Amino acid sequence: MLIFSLIGCLVLATMLIPYCRGEKDLYDAARTGDLAQVNALIAAKEDVNTKHFCGHTALMYASRKGHVEVVRALLAAKADVNAKDKSGRTALMEASSGCNGEVVRILIAAKADANAMDKEGATVLMWALVLCNAEVVRMLLAAKANVNARNNDGYTALILASGRGDVEIVKALLAAKADVNAKANNGLTALMNAQRHKGIMSLIWGWLIWGRTGEHTEVIKLLKQAGAKE
């Protein structure tokens, strides 16, 4: 047991050496947007595709934080734009969930997979719903994201967006021919999800969680106009 403890201490000490020297590793430099340090590490032949303990790459960190120039530098250094972490998330998912439109645009231009799924079956399009950004949703749809893809629970982006009450996203999904009557594994449809989130408690919950209240009445109207069945 002692030898394993000593090995563990040695590994930890080795990991901490750069921090004791005031240096940043590639992950930390990418996360904080330190372009100069990122470029220095790239020049020193640092492997831009090395993964952190959770499976994240430097590109994922930079994409999540919206560091445009760092993302460009990593891609120029041949960072794998479609690498996945341990949960199956990609840089494009990170950028989409963080509402970073310019990074999304750059990643798509670099051939990021707009139809990638994580281990829960959630698509890039579904991750874009996190901060309710219609612009990012439209970019992904233009990049041929499958509007009717389902996660492991059978939910589509339209079902999820309807529950959030985001009118502009629902409009974008409907314009892309989302199946308005698709059912999740539990039988829930987009219309049902919008209706059950219409009440005052759901509005309060939406404000607390997302910092905004949904427009469920308008979403219900849009869904019915698109042919949603009761």
Q: What is the pLDDT of residue 14?
A: 40
Residue 16 has pLDDT above 60, yes or no: no
pTM comes to: 0.84
Provide mean pLDDT across the span 162-188: 96
Hey, what are 23's tokens? Answer: 């240096």
Q: What is the pLDDT of residue 131?
A: 78
In Å, how far are 79, 137, 160 from 132, measured between CA atoms?
28, 9, 11
Can you tell me the distance from the alpha carbon of 139 to that of 142, in angstroms, rounded to the nearest whole number?
5
Q: Which amino acid is at 67?
A: H
Hey, what are 221's tokens? Answer: 């109207």
Residue 3 has pLDDT above 90, yes or no: no
Sign of CA dihedral 214, 206, 201, 156: positive
Residue 107 has pLDDT above 70, yes or no: yes
Q: What is the pLDDT of residue 142?
A: 97
Q: What is the pLDDT of residue 78?
A: 98
Q: Please give the domain boundaries of the chain with CATH numbers for all domains.
A: 24-146 (1.25.40.20), 152-230 (1.25.40.20)
